[in-house]
């Protein structure tokens, strides 16, 4: 079942890259305090994700912070090394927390898996954006198909 507005964000282990290497973190911990914007992409280095989705949140990070967002996080079914390299290539710096859902467990817990086996991508996450307030989902926008409309940084800013 898909997570709905009013639900707590699932508490699942994901990874993020640190100076010492990949670090396992709890989504309940990193997404559970303050006002968080979480966006999910089907895959790092893919065209829409790299050309529009992630860059939009990097460019709008200050605007999101001005609206009370304490953390902007990006999650994808990729490993921490890929997410770190993608973040570096996009100049993310400290503006976006890059979360690696290597086995797709968070995508499954959110109820937002995407079966990409038909085009060689395996099981991934659907593209979406969520606003999470102290661990509770207050806004969820899942893309209805290919492209980027309801989960862009501009769309999120419009609902904050």
Predicted confidence (pLDDT) per residue in 88-132, tens digit = 999 999 999 999 999 999 999 999 998 878 887 878 899 999 999
pLDDT of residue 21: 96
Look at residues 159, 148, 112 and name the one whose alpha carbon lies nearest to residue 4.
112
DSSP code, position 61:
H
Size (the chain), residues: 160
The confidence band for 159, taking pLDDT boundaries of 50, 70 and 90, is: very high
Give this prediction's pTM. 0.95
Dihedral over Cα of 94, 96, 97, 103: its sign: negative
The mean per-residue pLDDT over the stretch 20-30 comes to 97
The confidence band for 54, taking pLDDT boundaries of 50, 70 and 90, is: very high
pLDDT of residue 112: 97
The mean per-residue pLDDT over the stretch 44-58 comes to 94
Q: Which fold has domain 13-152?
A: Glutaredoxin (3.40.30)
74 is catalytic: no
Look at residues 92, 137, 134 and name the one whose alpha carbon lies nearest to residue 1.
137
Count Cβ neighbours within 10 Å for each residue of 20-40 and write b for 16 or more, e otherwise: eebeebebeebbbeebbbbbb
pLDDT of residue 76: 97
42's CB contacts (< 8 A; 6+ apart) are 49, 76, 77, 114, 116, 121, 124, 125, 126, 127
Domain extents for the chain?
A: 13-152
List the catalytic residue out of 3, 9, 37, 49.
Answer: 49
pLDDT of residue 115: 82
Look at residues 76, 143, 61 and name the one whose alpha carbon lies nearest to residue 107.
76
The confidence band for 10, taking pLDDT boundaries of 50, 70 and 90, is: very high
């Amino acid at each position: 079942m898909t997570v709905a507005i009013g639900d707590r964000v699932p508490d699942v282990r994901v990874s993020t890259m640190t100076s010492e290497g990949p670090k396992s973190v709890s989504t309940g911990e990193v997404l559970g305090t303050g006002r968080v914007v979480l966006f999910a992409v089907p895959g790092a280095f893919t065209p829409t994700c790299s050309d529009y989705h992630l860059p939009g949140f990097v460019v709008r990070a200050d605007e999101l912070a001005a609206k009370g967002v304490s953390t902007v996080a990006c999650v994808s079914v990729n490993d921490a090394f890929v997410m770190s390299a993608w973040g570096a290539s996009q100049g993310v710096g400290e503006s976006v927390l890059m979360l690696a859902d290597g086995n797709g467990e968070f995508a499954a817990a959110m109820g937002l898996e995407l079966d990409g086996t038909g085009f060689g991508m395996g099981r991934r996450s659907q593209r979406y954006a969520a606003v999470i307030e102290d661990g509770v989902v207050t806004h969820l926008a899942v893309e209805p198909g290919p492209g980027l409309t309801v989960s862009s940084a501009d769309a999120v800013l419009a609902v904050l």
